[in-house]
Chain A
Amino acid sequence: MDKHYCICIGRKFCSGGRNVAAIVAEKLGIKVYDRDLLKKAAQNTGFSEQFFDEADEEKTRKGLRSLFTGHFNGNGFSNNYLSNESIFNMQSDAIRKIHETEDCVFIGRCADYVLRDSDRLLNVFIAADINDRVARVCRHAGEGMTESKALSLIEDIDRKRSSYYNYFTGRTWGDTAVYDICLNSTTLGYEKCADIIVSLAKEKLGI
């Protein structure tokens, strides 16, 4: 059995995944890793943070440009340390290292796939009703955001997260069979989602 446990949270854009993760982490007294993770990875390799941002899950290309330059940053035929593939590998190493040293919550970044061999992993997916998400986007973005703009932003980011996840893991993002449990934060609320995750974690991970 692994020394430390982890809870991996996948989420649709603006479904409150981050809020739920924060409550879970607070209840269990552990840390949440999201973008900070990238910085951690950056420190260990001597690479600057900027490149990890560029290769992030919301930066995939589409259309004609991807046809010529490759789907992600850097294309297949180069032996390149700046390719998404090699940055993904560095990020994965950082995720594994963190998992070896502490209990924590990972948000996104295919952590569930990277740590798939761990026997103390709880894999969660958070979704929400579309109206709720649109309202959230409008609330956060402030002036100039219309409902239709919010909707296309949501679709765009979900598509990018999905193609990133599917490309690197060979699994299907948001497919219920991938996760231990899928929760709807609109119907359950953040607090209830967190409660369910915590009690499931206690049962499954032997906390």
Chain B
Amino acid sequence: MSELKTPQELGTEKIGKLLIRYAVPAMIAMLASSLYNIVDRAFIGHGVGPMALSGLAVTFPLMNLSAALGSMVGVGSGTMISLKLGQKDHESAQMLLGNSVTLNILIGVLFGALSLIFINPILTLFGATDVTIGYSREYMIIILAGNAFTHLYLGINCILRAAGHPNKAMVATIGTVLLNTFLDYLFIMVFHWGIKGAAIATVISQVLAFTWQCFQLSDKSELIHLKKGTYRLRGDLVKNIITIGLSPCLMNAAACFVVLLINRGLLKYGSDVAIGAYSIINSIGFMVVMMVMGFNQAMQPIAGYNYGARKFDRVLRVLYLTMFFGTCVTTLGFAVGEFLPDFCIRIFTNDPELTAIAHNGMIINFIFFPLIGSQMVIGNFFQSIGMPGKSIIMSLSRQVLLLIPFLIILPHYYGINGIWYSLPASDILSVILGFSLLIPQVRKLKKMI
């Protein structure tokens, strides 16, 4: 939030120029985190085997749930800290930093320990079979053991961003991706540690990133730094952190529930291999989605400021431009997915069975991609102009509310293809919903110009 210190220019500078300037750093961060997924899966697919890929895919809902809890603390404390820094209330900001560290450790250890105790039933529930559970467990035990570090790393990154160091946060993100790539190569390709190697690489790179962050935050000349006496939890601070962070957390948790449904459906109507195929499709789709999110993040301050300043012509212009860019990105994704699916799949595997399933899935899944760019932008647009309710309906509709009925009904008629059909079916419905919410809003804005 602090990178936006000059709001006036948001009301005067050319929209295209502003959008690009805000979008580039956001897109780099987004690309980095989606690359992380791709790299891990590519090394496991090629270095360990197609079944390991399925074993890894089974663990995603659990990892997402953990990330959801991490983001709750991160977003909550980041928002509070940036508020306190705005008020020059450094003491409270410091307390919040200390409290968020404690909270992250507490939740991280608790979540890790509970999941470790119940690891077998959890993985079975998430769609692991006798063939894949060995891989899932081997991977997850190490990840869960390092779970507190994952939370700390993600949480402090949010705080670095909120405290006016977005560049440091970006260095940590990119550094972790590069380190993880190198260690993946070393552990899987050179040492032949198997899927365990990927987990160790992840934990090591997060521990190192966290150490670097601590180093950054221990500089006493900084406005906020890690300090003795701030780690004891204070009820009111914890309450505020959780109140703010709960809504992004619930959104993530809902998304992870849907992945669980998809995985179980793929297993029921297909096989273990199909779960691996979905994780390949998902990685590519995720990258496209993340790039649109980069534009969305850039649109927020521009649309928000101009809406507040009642410059509605500029609000509409940034909306249209972002929708255009978003559509370009998703159309590119569409082209790659429809015309070069095997090229994408080869990044992850050479296995003919897996390739065939992923090929079929990708062609179905990406069919409405050119349209979802604008759907995502619309959802975010409502967020930017202070209508979080509509924005949440938009993001839940595509990934949860409209998807779940399709996931339950369609496979009865079409078998495994029913699962693949569900995704574009909910895409197209949510696009219609999006435009039916947006058009009246645009009319209202046009009247006010």
Q: A residues engaging B (CB < 8 A)?
A: 45-48, 51, 54, 65-71, 73-83, 85-86, 88-89, 92, 113-114, 117, 166-168, 170
From A45, A79, A88, B4 is in contact (CB under 8 Å) with A79
- Of B10, B244, B386, most buried by chain A (CB within 10 Å of CB) is B386
A46 to B307 alpha-carbon distance, docked (Å): 11
The answer to whether B384 touches A78, judged by C-beta atoms less than 8 angstroms apart, is yes
- A sample of 10 more A-B contacts (CB under 8 A), given A73-B386, A73-B388, is A45-B7, A45-B309, A67-B250, A70-B247, A74-B388, A76-B247, A77-B79, A77-B248, A79-B304, A82-B304
Determine if B304 and A88 form an interchain contact, defined as CB atoms under 8 angstroms apart: no
> Which residues of the other chain, B, contact A167 by a CB distance below 8 angstroms?
240
In angstroms, Cα B108 to Cα A135, docked, is 52
Partner of A82, one of B4, B244, B308, B389: B308
* CB proximity of A77 to chain B, nearest CB, Å: 5
**A–B complex contacts, Cβ < 8 Å, 25 sampled:** A45-B308, A46-B8, A46-B308, A48-B309, A51-B386, A54-B386, A66-B243, A67-B247, A68-B247, A69-B389, A71-B244, A75-B247, A75-B388, A76-B75, A76-B79, A79-B297, A80-B301, A80-B304, A81-B4, A81-B308, A82-B307, A82-B308, A85-B79, A92-B86, A170-B84
Closest 5 CB pairs of A and B: A76-B244, A82-B386, A69-B388, A76-B79, A81-B304
Please give, as numbers and ranges, the residues of chain B lying within 8 Å of A81 by CB-CB distance.
4, 7, 10, 301, 304-305, 308
Chain A residues closer than 8 Å to B243, beta-carbon distance = 66, 70-71
Q: How far is the CB of B14 from chain A (nearest CB, A)?
A: 18
Report whether A79 and B79 are in contact in the complex, using a CB–CB cutoff of 8 Å. Answer: no
- Assembled-state Cα–Cα distance A113/B83 (Å): 13
Is there an interface contact between A170 and B236, defined as CB atoms closer than 8 Å? yes
A45 to B385, CA, bound (A): 17
Task: Say if the beta carbon of B417 comes within 8 Å of chain A.
Answer: no
Indicate the member of B10, B11, B247, B297 with the most A CB atoms within 10 Å.
B247
- B384 / chain A contacts, CB cutoff of 8 Å: 78, 80, 82
Given the interface contacts A80-B300, A114-B87, does A75 sit within 8 Å of B386 by beta carbon?
no
B245 CB-CB contact with A under 8 Å: yes
Residues of B within 8 A of A51 (CB): 308, 386
Tell me if B316 is interfacial: C-beta within 8 Å of chain A: no
CA distance A114 to B388 in the complex (A): 28
A-contacting residues of B (Cβ < 8 Å)?
Answer: 1, 4, 7-8, 10-11, 71, 75-76, 78-79, 82-84, 86-89, 92, 236-237, 240, 243-248, 250, 297, 300-301, 304-305, 307-310, 383-386, 388-389, 392
Known: A76-B248, A92-B87, A170-B92. A82 touches B82 (CB 8 A): no
Q: Which residue of B lies closest to A71 (CB)?
A: B243
> Once the chains bind, are B310 and A48 in contact (CB under 8 Å)?
yes
Q: Which residue of A lies closest to B71 (CB)?
A: A77
Contacting pair A74 B386 (CB below 8 A): yes
Contact of A67 among B76, B246, B300, B307 (CB under 8 A): B246
Please indicate the chain B residues that have their CB under 8 angstroms from the CB of A54 in the complex: 386
Nearest CB on A from B128, distance (A): 31
Q: Is the CB of A75 within 8 A of B4?
A: no
With A70-B388, A81-B301, A89-B86 as given contacts, are A75 and B248 in contact (CB-CB < 8 Å)?
yes
Of A54, A77, A83, A89, the most chain B CB neighbours within 10 A belong to A77
Say yes or no: A79-B300 contact (C-beta < 8 A), given A71-B244, A74-B388: yes
Query: In whole angstroms, how far apart are the Cα atoms of A48 and B305 in the complex?
Result: 11
- State A80–B302 Cα separation when bound (angstroms): 9
Residues in B whose Cβ lies below 8 Å from that of A166: 236
**Given B76, B79, B83, B245, which contacts A89 in the complex, CB threshold below 8 Å?**
B83
B290 to chain A, nearest CB (A): 15
Residue of A65, A80, A89, A114 contacting most chain B CB atoms (<10 Å): A80
Are B237 and A46 touching (Cβ within 8 A)?
no
**Most interface-central of B243, B308, B383, B384 (chain A CB within 10 A):** B308
